[in-house]
């Protein structure tokens, strides 16, 4: 059974239609939207600041979501996929975003809607990711614009697939 516990009087808010893997950890001031999935070995730690997660967000295996004490909360919009082993820390991610495997998004970054953070990218503190773009590298830099086709073929497809995958584990 997943570790879901309160910290300093704040208990995670998890709608019934969400899937949380048996060895995921969600603690403290965390709220999930509808149709979210929190996968194996992921940690969402709302102990030092709040973490707000929108609808249809998938937090894949090994992801760590945290914040900075009294300074930088973490907010994740709707229709967001966060790839395996990514680190999301004290930042804001808007709607329709794909964060690649192993990417790191650091404090006070803002990832605007319809964007992709490539696998392995490191988005350094205070970076603003432009809407409709792909950022890659260390440190992450804009590499190209995203077509509407890529938004529906990748961002929407992955988010929708994870709703389907999570249903297999609820049976």
Q: What is the pLDDT along the chain (171 residues), one digit of tens a residue?
A: 899 999 999 999 999 999 999 999 999 999 999 999 999 999 999 999 999 999 999 999 999 999 999 999 999 999 999 999 999 999 999 999 999 999 999 999 999 999 999 999 999 999 999 999 999 999 999 999 998 888 878 899 999 999 999 999 987
- Determine whether domain 3-170 maps to CATH 3.30.479.30: no
| Sequential DSSP letters for the chain | --EEE-BTTB--B--TT-EE-TT-EEEEEEE--TT-EE-TT-EEEEEEEEEEE-SS-EE-TT-EEE-BTTTB-EEE-SSEEE-TT-EEES-EE-SSEEE-TT-EE-TT-EE-SSEEEPTT-EE-TT-EEPTTEEEETTTTEEEEEPPHHHIIIIIIHHHHHHHHHHHHHH-
What's the whole-model pTM score? 0.97
Domain boundaries along the sequence of the chain:
3-170
């Amino acid at each position: 059974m997943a570790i879901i516990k309160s910290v300093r009087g704040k208990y995670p808010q998890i709608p019934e239609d969400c899937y949380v893997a048996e060895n995921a950890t969600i603690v403290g001031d965390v709220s999930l939207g509808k149709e979210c999935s929190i996968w194996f070995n992921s940690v969402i730690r709302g102990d030092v600041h709040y973490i707000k997660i929108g609808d249809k967000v998938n937090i894949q295996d090994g992801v760590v979501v945290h914040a900075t004490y009294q300074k930088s909360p973490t907010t994740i919009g709707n229709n967001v996929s966060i790839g395996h082993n990514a680190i999301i820390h004290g930042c804001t991610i808007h709607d329709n975003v794909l964060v690649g495997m192993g990417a790191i998004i650091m404090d006070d970054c803002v990832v605007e809607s319809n964007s992709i953070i490539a696998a392995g990218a490191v988005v350094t503190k205070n970076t603003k990711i432009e809407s409709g773009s792909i950022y890659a590298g260390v440190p992450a830099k804009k590499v190209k614009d995203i077509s509407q086709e890529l938004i529906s073929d990748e961002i929407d497809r992955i988010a929708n697939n994870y709703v389907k995958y999570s249903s297999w584990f609820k049976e």
